[in-house]
């Protein structure tokens, strides 16, 4: 397995997210956009993920060379993002983000599928590769927290550009790994999607990501308005990812003891608690610290479990499309809805109500998973 090459991709890919997720909203605020405009611009980053991964997934299936697709996507996302240097009007940035995200969202589903293929059935080792993405996120978010405390927010733009260049370079280093498809007939993709466990799982993931909307769109703005400095904001973001790394290292043992369904249910329950705490206690730093530690479960455990569940649901050449569909429904459709509703409610109803809405959404995910996926059967229940 090309461990360090895969890990390097995850490092730079999530370093980009470590720059975008906490600080892109602050940049947009610095150039004069309203909460609704910020919500809409960040939603655009998610919207293309509804369609783009499926287009790129089909292209990878058709060509039979997923890494070729990833390399082109990495280069074109770098080129598209460079458009931010040409203007900062709402319409221009909307167009730049639309093109950037169309290419950017092509890479991760292909790499997730490639990583699982390189693991040769050792799906539990995924966390040891993926943790380097967490390391990249931490370095980016903490480093930028200190940097943007002393320099203009504009410097975020060239830093993200350099990180995108790192992503593209690592796409050139990862070797192709063909998926071996046995001669037996694969279940048609639509039939897989219509299986009750699969459809319920995807709806739950959609709701989980929609609940993250206020967090990914406004958390940094929220903290800054409460008087926290940007270096403190950076460390709060990083704290959640430190906890996530620890969880990734323990996931194999956790899955042996409690199984995938239980982990999913726990992640939904704890996410509801986390959003309530953030929304109700922004002035209590120790409560915010505790809420960030919960990120280990609400993202780390949830995401590692979801990737393994998707890999189990979608076999052979369906694996790429399966990862793309999962990303489209959860991070794409769910993420876009989350950014959109939080933009509408942030100034009108207030941050506390917005985070309460987030908690309600993830509690619905908890209920439908509890009721719709019974213990004892299916890929989601495998330890």
Q: What structural domains does the chain harbor?
A: 3-174+186-381 (1.20.1250.20)
Structure tokens at 327: 């990303």
Q: For 143-154, what is the mean pLDDT?
A: 94
83-92: pLDDT as tens digits: 999 999 999 9
pLDDT of residue 181: 46
Any alpha helices (H) in 105-155, and if so which ranges? Answer: 107-118, 126-150
| CA pair distance 110, 351, nearest whole angstrom | 36
Least confident of 29-38, 59-68, 170-179: 59-68
pLDDT > 70? residue 200:
yes
Gyration radius of the chain's alpha carbons: 20
| CA pair distance 34, 375, nearest whole angstrom | 46
Q: How confident is the model at residue 244 (pLDDT cuts 50, 70, 90)?
A: confident
Q: For 154-162, what is the mean pLDDT?
A: 97
Neighbours of 111 (CB within 10 A): 24
Q: What percent of the chain has pLDDT over 90?
A: 56
Higher-pLDDT residue of 294 and 196 is 294
Structure tokens at 184: 């037996």
pLDDT > 90? residue 125:
no
Least confident of 25-39, 116-130, 227-241, 314-328: 116-130
pTM for the model stands at 0.83
Distance of CA 95 to the CA centre of its chain: 22
177-187: pLDDT as tens digits: 655 545 445 56
Higher-pLDDT residue of 308 and 30 is 30
Which of 293, 192, 287 is CA-nearest to residue 237?
293
Q: How confident is the model at residue 100 (pLDDT cuts 50, 70, 90)?
A: very high
Structure tokens at 121: 């059935």
| CA pair distance 3, 13, nearest whole angstrom | 15
pLDDT of residue 228: 96
Q: For 12-38, what is the mean pLDDT?
A: 94
pLDDT > 70? residue 9:
yes
Q: For 228-250, what is the mean pLDDT?
A: 90
pLDDT of residue 304: 82
pLDDT > 60? residue 382:
no
pLDDT of residue 63: 63
The overall average pLDDT reported for the chain is: 87
Q: What percent of the chain has pLDDT over 70?
A: 89
| CA pair distance 368, 364, nearest whole angstrom | 6
């Amino acid at each position: 397995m090309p461990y360090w090459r895969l890990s390097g991709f995850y490092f730079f890919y999530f370093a980009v997210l470590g720059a975008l997720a906490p600080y892109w909203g602050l940049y947009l605020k610095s150039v004069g956009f309203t909460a609704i405009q910020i919500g809409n611009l960040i939603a655009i980053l998610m919207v293309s993920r509804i369609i783009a991964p499926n287009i790129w997934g089909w292209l990878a299936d058709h060509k039979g060379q997923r890494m070729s697709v990833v390399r082109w996507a990495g280069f074109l996302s770098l080129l598209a993002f460079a458009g931010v240097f040409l203007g900062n009007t709402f319409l221009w940035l909307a167009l730049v983000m639309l093109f950037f995200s169309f290419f950017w969202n092509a890479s991760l589903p292909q790499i997730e599928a490639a990583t699982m293929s390189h693991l040769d059935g050792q799906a539990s080792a995924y966390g040891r590769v993926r943790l380097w993405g967490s390391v990249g996120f931490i370095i980016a978010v903490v480093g930028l927290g200190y940097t943007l405390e002393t320099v203009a927010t504009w410097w975020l733009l060239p830093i993200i550009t350099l990180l995108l260049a790192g992503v593209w370079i690592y796409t050139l280093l990862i070797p192709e790994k063909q998926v071996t498809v046995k001669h037996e007939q694969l279940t048609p993709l639509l039939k897989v999607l219509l299986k009750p466990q699969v459809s319920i799982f995807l709806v739950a993931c959609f709701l989980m990501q929609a609940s993250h909307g206020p967090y990914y769109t406004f958390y940094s703005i929220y903290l800054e308005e409460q008087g926290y400095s940007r270096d403190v904001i950076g460390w709060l973001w990083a704290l959640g990812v430190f906890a996530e790394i620890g969880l990734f290292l323990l996931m194999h043992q956790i899955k042996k003891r409690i199984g995938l369904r239980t982990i999913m249910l726990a992640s939904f329950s704890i996410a509801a608690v986390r959003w309530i705490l953030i929304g109700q206690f922004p002035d209590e730093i120790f409560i915010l610290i505790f809420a960030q530690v919960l990120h280990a479960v609400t993202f780390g455990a949830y995401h590692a479990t979801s990737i393994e569940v998707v890999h189990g649901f979608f076999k052979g050449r369906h694996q790429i499309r399966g990862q793309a569909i999962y990303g489209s429904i959860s991070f794409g459709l769910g993420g876009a809805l989350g950014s959109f509703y939080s933009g509408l409610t942030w100034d009108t109803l207030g941050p506390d109500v917005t985070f309460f809405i987030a908690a309600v959404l993830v509690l619905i995910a908890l209920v439908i998973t509890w009721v719709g996926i019974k213990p004892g059967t299916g890929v989601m229940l495998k330890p």
